[in-house]
A and B are shown apart, each in its own frame.
Chain A
Amino acid sequence: MAAPEITVEEHAPPVVLAVAATLRRAVAHRRLAGRMARLSGVMALRSSVDRQAVTIRFSRGRVALSRGVAADADVVVTLDFNNMSGPGAPKPKVKGAGRHPLFALGASAVLEPPAGAWQREAEAFWEFARRTPRMPSSLLVVCTDDDNQLRLGDAEGEPAYELYGTAATLGAVFTGEKIIGEEFLAGRLRGAGTFEHASVLTGRSIAWTFGEGRGELTTL
């Protein structure tokens, strides 16, 4: 079975790009790709805290995303895009799942692709970002839960940049669920290095969240 084709509207807003990126992560899992290819229906995700919203049209292998909540959405999920998982995340409210239970379950599954260990996700992010001009030549990532460390890039000498965070935070930024700069400003991530490296790492993190480095994305 061919992998589902994911398309977004032209000049798509961040929430559309981020959800499309999540779906593309799901496509990388054979089981979820197959499940996505069989889905048919319209799901909308709406923010509980601001006006962000995205409509996802699953049509047996074709997935089209656009801004807003479509009037013909079968299932509408209201959630906080900035706090979708982890401790304290509010429970999403779901409307329409009673009438479309299988679709709701299937769509929810493909929107929550399993994340690997933070180290594996960090390696994937590094592979995506490392050739970017002005990126640090090496990155030391330290998990503050257990002092587990991962060195990426040049193995010699002092690391050019160091990142410190909990396993949950590191997992969130390296999967693209959260953005490095936001986590800095929120105090959940700490760094040792230059402002230049922090800024460029954040730029790559934004691009990763919005789906760069996850294959071609078709624009409608």
Chain B
Amino acid sequence: MTPDEATAWLAAHGVTTVRTEGVSPDGLVLGKHLARAKFERSLPLGPAVSDIAFAYDLGGTPYLGWWDDWRQDCLGDIHQRPDLATLVITPQRPEMAACMVDHVDVSGRPLPVCPRSVLKEMVSRLGSHGLTARAAFEIEGMAFAESYAEARARGYRGLTPIGLPLPLGYTTQDAYRMAPFMDEVVRRLDGMGIPWEAWSAEAAPGQFEINLEPADPVTAADRTMRVRQVVREVASDTGRSATFMARPTDGYGNGTHIHHSLQRADGPAFHDPSTPDGRSSLMLHWIGGLVQTMPAAHSILAPTVNSYRRLVPFAAAPTTVTWAEENKSVALRIVSRDPKLARVEHRVGAGDINPHLALAAILAGGLAGIEAGIDPPAETRLVAWGLPERFPHLPTSIGAAAEALEADKELTDLLGAPMVHHWVQTRRWEWIMFNTTGGDAEAEQVTDWELMRYFEIV
């Protein structure tokens, strides 16, 4: 869509306000509500925001301790460059449109820490190999009957799940109780043109899962971000509360499984009918890269202190660096029986991931595999939960994962040194803040610090 076409589209839909929607490295959605004329005048560079928007933590404290080239010495502007193809009407406010943006500097260059731009780089790199990717997110979250204000007053503890208060997954009784909430969620998704495939009640009380149709990586990540936003908005509008924290309660946690596949011009790239199991050599190298870079990528797939509380044996989250065909206890579940279904389900991501960065890290890992011809280790034909220490495990703390990412040259080269530097520093900062501002490193259950910091925003 050109700026002129956007102007006509906004007029035709009677839009008065455009909300920009950009993703920060921490996964926050940053934006402005612009009068239509202002939005149109701002094109193509888009509205300006202060670069401090990328430089404070989830508790609102400015990040201090390092410096990034993209920042200006004394605070300055960055721009939110609209991706006009993503303009949609927000169903609950028909006079308002929403538009995804990339974060760029004042001359229009993408910031190296703009998650959407980093993901685009990975897509471009795949293109240089003659490959395209498709991805589909499974989004887990939890919703409660209390409003955000009530939940806050209770310290986010002892909340009433919107479904059954039982740890049972898939039951239609549970889903029926959730339906008043979820029906409104999917009504809005339909209104925004976000193709969802299914939703279901999941295993923890109040837990739901939303499955989206496969799409190109940037679209898939955009939609995931928007789905989470819609869920929070429906919660807010209906006097409920919702969260995507990895483990907001002592029950099962929230994950984000990312299915993905590669295609060549002539068909599915993960499939080779000449091999006994249907797996192409490219698929095996892709898996090899994902396995090799998994400890490092874990920093991005488990971005908060709370993410690591999900990594409990026999609690449905993968805890080991493993892969296998049709095995939901491993980190990488492979499906290769049918060319149409051939894909990798990356099961490591926590509920609180930044979808753009997480998918970028996954594509980077796969790229590292195909570019270096990395062979995967042996397939795990065991239940991978509760394996003894001799099996490789995922890093178990935000600090250990950051160390692994900092040490991973392949992933750093692919994601970009400025992005990785910023990310590692911010994860260390989060670890320091947790330890020194009221968190409890010894606690086996979610702490007040985590609930106060993450519940309403991740």
Contacts and interface: CB of A to CB of B under 8 A. Distances in A.
B73 A195 contact: yes
B355 interface: no
B66 A185 contact: no
A51 B443 contact: yes
B29 interface: no
Nearest to B429: A206
Contact of A196 (B61, B73, B443): B73
B325 interface: no
A150 B88 CA distance: 59
A131 to B, nearest CB: 15
B432 A200 contact: no
A52 B67 contact: no
Given A13-B441, A14-B435, A51-B439, A203 B65 contact: yes
Interface string B57-79: 00001111111000101110000
B64 A203 contact: yes
Contacts of B6: none
A205 to B, nearest CB: 8
A170 interface: no
A214 interface: no
Please classify how large the interface on chain B is, using the bins under 10, 10 to 19, 20 to 34, 35 or more: 20 to 34
A40 interface: no
B40 interface: no
A52 B439 CA distance: 8
Contacts of A11: 397, 399-400
Contacts of B5: none
Given A11-B397, A15-B435, A51-B440, A195 B75 contact: yes
Contacts of B442: 51, 53, 67-68
A195 B55 CA distance: 11
A206 B436 contact: no
B65 A206 contact: yes
B377 interface: no
Interface string A56-90: 00000000000110000000000000000000000
Contact of B432 (A14, A67, A199): A14
A186 to B, nearest CB: 12
B437 interface: yes
Interface centre among B62, B400, B438, B441 (most CB of A within 10 A): B441
Contacts of A53: 442
Interface string A117-134: 000000000000000001
Contacts of B438: 50-51
A50 B65 contact: no
Nearest to A207: B65
A202 interface: yes
Contacts of A185: 61-62
Contacts of A67: 441-442
A181 interface: yes
